[in-house]
A and B are shown apart, each in its own frame.
Chain A
Amino acid sequence: KAGVTQTPRYLIKTRGQQVTLSCSPISGHRSVSWYQQTPGQGLQFLFEYFSETQRNKGNFPGRFSGRQFSNSRSEMNVSTLELGDSALYLCASSVWESTEAFFGQGTRLTVV
């Protein structure tokens, strides 16, 4: 059974640009959540989607957005990139919202 797949693995962008990250959950999983991980802040929750609906949102500015498609794949978008957006972005999938979550390998975003 394939795990959670995140693409791309690495990304370098310049300030002011926008970026879209993709996450394909484990087959049969309907819940996808996104996290930002930085050395200083640890794992910070961005948002969670279940059956194409955003169920919860963390404390991030509106530049961070996401969506989930009917096949449960999810994308997150960051507009007007800032240097502080450099981080490892992790996606996790689960069958339901309250079951164990499995993480992808992450997308390492560097903003220069």
Chain B
Amino acid sequence: GQQLNQSPQSMFIQEGEDVSMNCTSSSIFNTWLWYKQEPGEGPVLLIALYKAGELTSNGRLTAQFGITRKDSFLNISASIPSDVGIYFCAGRNNNDMRFGAGTRLTVKP
């Protein structure tokens, strides 16, 4: 099925900087999810969003469910070296879940 459009594809930032990534779709989703994956491991759920317009935080992470239900963004504030990894967005409707291609984040100390 059609994957989500996630950008940017990669980011190289300095420790302490803020990061923003987003995901868009041509389809409406009931749920937006953000995952982080490290090498050799499965994706780990960071934030789940269930309502259009919802803004949710998890520590230094903040995500929003777009009002049109076709997009979502993830912000990471004051990045640290352990934030390194690939971040995926996912849109979910019942038995259908689509993923973005991922944003590869590199944090320079």
Query: What is the distance, in angstroms, from B17's C-beta to the closest C-beta of chain A?
Result: 26
CB proximity to A under 8 Å, residues B30-88 = 30-31, 33, 35, 40-45, 48, 88
How many B residues touch the partner, as a band?
A: 20 to 34
Query: What is the distance, in angstroms, from A5's C-beta to the closest C-beta of chain B?
Result: 11
Summarize A's interface: helix, strand, loop or mixed: strand
Q: Is B35 in contact with A103, judged by CB distance below 8 angstroms?
A: yes
Distance A42 CA – B94 CA, assembled complex (angstroms): 21
Number of interface residues of A (CB under 8 A): 27
| Stretch from A65-73, A75-83, A92-100 contacting the other chain | A92-100
**28 A-B pairs, CB-CB below 8 angstroms?**
A6-B42, A42-B99, A43-B43, A45-B1, A45-B96, A45-B97, A45-B98, A48-B96, A50-B95, A59-B1, A90-B42, A90-B43, A97-B95, A98-B31, A98-B92, A98-B93, A98-B94, A99-B31, A99-B48, A100-B31, A101-B33, A101-B45, A101-B97, A103-B35, A103-B43, A105-B41, A106-B41, A108-B40
